[in-house]
Every structure is written in structure tokens, then in C-alpha cells.
Amino acid sequence: MKPVKKKKTEEPELEPLCCCEYIDRNGEKNHVAACLCDCQDLDEGCDRWITCKSLQPETCERIMDTISDRLRIPWLRGAKKVNISIIPPLVLLPVFLHVASWHFLLGVVVLTSLPVLALWYYYLTHRRKEQTLFFLSLGLFSLGYMYYVFLQEVVPKGRVGPVQLAVLTCGLFLILLALYRAKKNPGYLNPASSDRALSSSQLELLNRKGQEKMKGFPGTDTSGSLNNRTAKDDPRGSSRMPAGSPTKAKEDWCAKCQLVRPARAWHCRICGICVRRMDHHCVWINSCVGESNHQAFILALLIFLLTSVYGITLTLDTICRDRSIFTALFYCPGVYANYSSALSFTCVWYSVIITAGMAYIFLIQLINISYNVTEREVQQALRQKTGRRLLCGLIVDTGQYNRGFLRNWHQFSTLGTRAFHHPAEDIV
């Protein structure tokens, strides 16, 4: 007798979600209206807080995970999750600036505490290696809110002409355009499409052969791997490995991405992927700065600095007439007599603080480009105490890729447009 074929049980199709429904982190169907139901962790945390008992870190993390999972907005085919880190700047920045406009001393306290809080949050998220939209939200909302205050409080006073307003508006749109370009792919290395990716068996075979061939080779240790950096004055370590050597493959192998990285590529622990010629992970754009977006990042910084200084100049010329810009920043009598001028003056000082921070980043970037080093290479050189340090550590020259000022800038201007050929001695 022929065996009877069993019919395959068809899995029931999932019902489409309405605009207020979503699938929570437990895989269950939930509704936006039920966001305050079933909050055992939050209830436990409130009870311990009322009874003056300390909360365990695990409980706090569960509470934050629950809040971030249930904070959603209705959307087509299911409610969309809202990143909780974008909300504090939208609420706190206007409140702090309006409070700082009430009195001079309040302005000093608030404007001093804002950078401190931002740095504290940065080190908190940087230590945990977490992505956050806080700084991107703060930067974009600051641009929009400063422009709004300028239109509402400065332009009606009649000191700003149409041409000046048009120039400032164009600068704002150029900043957004450059930020959009800088947010694009910085040069991620795709393991699937990378022609340099190796399987684990191939890598193990290369390492085994390399250890047999490289025994006694200058600059290698007992395990067959190269030293991290060879001093220039050491004649025994003057020889370098060939680019395709097994030890080279071992050094540049990324276990997380499962590929062999090209020279100057690094793995970003925040993004979780390798980036070509990685400079650093920038929290202001919530992305890495690498080979493909480094030019757009520099352009965004330059346009921001020019637009910000121009807006500060127009505002101070309006609320503190007949005074130079530098004098008006520190001495503008009667500015707190009117709430409108006080708010404008507070926003000016907030813009000055942000502009000063961005100017420092821009200066460091210009120096690194001039010496053809990335911020990642600078940090590694400082940890390993290698390279030349100039101007109290402001300039760090590793000497490995430096080909002179003009050639360094020429190489930077061609990033992402063509494959740049590195000399043999540049291969790490």
C-alpha cells in the first residue's frame, strides 16, 4: 500500500495591524492605549523609591526598555516606535533657554550646566557603546529653534535686511544638505560582497603556514604575529611584511565582521561594522566618519561655523547697537530689561558655546588632514606612546602616512572618488 501523504499544516496568516497596534519586544500583539497596563517593573521601582530603597541597575534597565518599547505613535500598518533619546532636547532646550532669560545669574548657571550635562550623557553612552539620537536631535532642534527665535525676536526690530535674512536662510539649508550627505554610508565594509573576506578554515591555514615560514623573521614574536609598531631607529625591524602575507591577514582579520580589512579600516563598536579609513564615530550625526563621508563632514562643519558666526553678528548688532561684536558679548547694558532682547542674548551665548565646540573639532580635523592621520590613529598613537607630539599634544604625527602638506590634502580631496594606491610601506 502506498503511504498516505500528510497534508502540510498551513500556518495561519497574521492579521494586519491597525494604526494603533504593534508587536512588542515579547513578540505579542499590543495596543498603544494599553501603554500603562502591565507595568510590574515600573510599579516595583515606584514602591522602592517611595520606601527609600535603592533600585538595582537591572530593574532600571528593564524599566527603560519597557518605556522605550511602548513609546509609539500611530502609523499605517502598525504603530511606529519612537526613540526616547530624541525627546529630551525637544522639551528641555526651550525650557532652559527661557529660564536663563529671566536673570543674568540664571543665565550663567543654565549655560554652564548645559555643556556639563551634554558631556556627562556623552560619556555615559560612549562607555556603554550605545547608539543614541540625543545629539543629532539636539543639533537639529538647536538649528531650528535658533532660527525661530531669530525670526520672532530679531527680524521684527528692523535691523536685518531681506538680503541678510536670505543669506542666513541659505546657510541653514546648506547645513542640512551637508548633514544629509554626511549621514550617508561612510564606507562600510560588506562581508558578503567583500572580495577580501576569508573563511575561518582559510585563515587558520594561512596562519599555520605563516608561523612555519616566518620563524626567526625580524619584527615577529613567538606566535608569528607582527609587533604593533616598529620604531624607525631600530635597524633590526626595518624590514616589513609583504602585503599578502598570512600574518598580515591575521592582523587585519575582523572576527565580528568575518572579513580582512584593508589598510586604515577599523571596526566601530557602536555601529557594529568595519569602516574604510575610519576617522571616528560622531555622535552629532549618529554615524561614523570614514572614507566616503569625511569630505561632507568637513563641509558641514565649515558651513555651520560661517552661518553661526554670521547669525551671532546680526543678532548682537540688533540688540546691542553701536558696539563691537566682542564687546557686546560681555557688556551689553540693558539687555535684560526687555524679555525679547534677553532671550535673544541668551540664544547668542548658547550659539557661541556650540560654535566654540565645533570650531575645536574643525581645527583638530584640519590638523589631522594636514598630517594625513585619522582620529582613530591618533588615539592609538597616544595609547601606545608612539609618534611625534607637538603643541602639547594638539598635533600628533605618526609619520606613517604623512607625504607632505599638499599631497596629504590632495589625497583627502580624492577620498571616495577612486581607489587610492598606498605605497608598500603604508600597509599596516
User: At residue 88, what are phi and psi to the nearest 5 degrees?
Assistant: -55, -45
Contact present, 297 and 412 (Cβ < 8 Å): no
Separation of alpha carbons 236 and 218, rounded Å: 6
Q: Which amino acid is present at 146?
A: M
Specify the pairing of strand 388-390 against strand 287-289. unpaired
Contact present, 179 and 298 (Cβ < 8 Å): no
Nearest to 308 by CA among 190, 59, 192, 139: 139
CA pseudo-torsion sign 54, 59, 65, 71: negative
- Give the CA distances from residue 344 to residues 143, 332, 351, in Å, rounded to whole numbers and listed in that order: 14, 12, 10
Please provide the DSSP assignment of 45-63 as one string. HHHHHHTT-PPPHHHHHHH
Task: For cell 604625527, name the residue.
Answer: 397
Separation of alpha carbons 271 and 1, rounded Å: 60
Q: For residue 371, give the 3-state DSSP assignment.
A: coil
- Active-site residue (options: 257, 268, 282, 347): 282
CA terminus-to-terminus distance, the chain: 70
Q: Known catalytic residue: 282?
A: yes
- The catalytic residue positions are 282
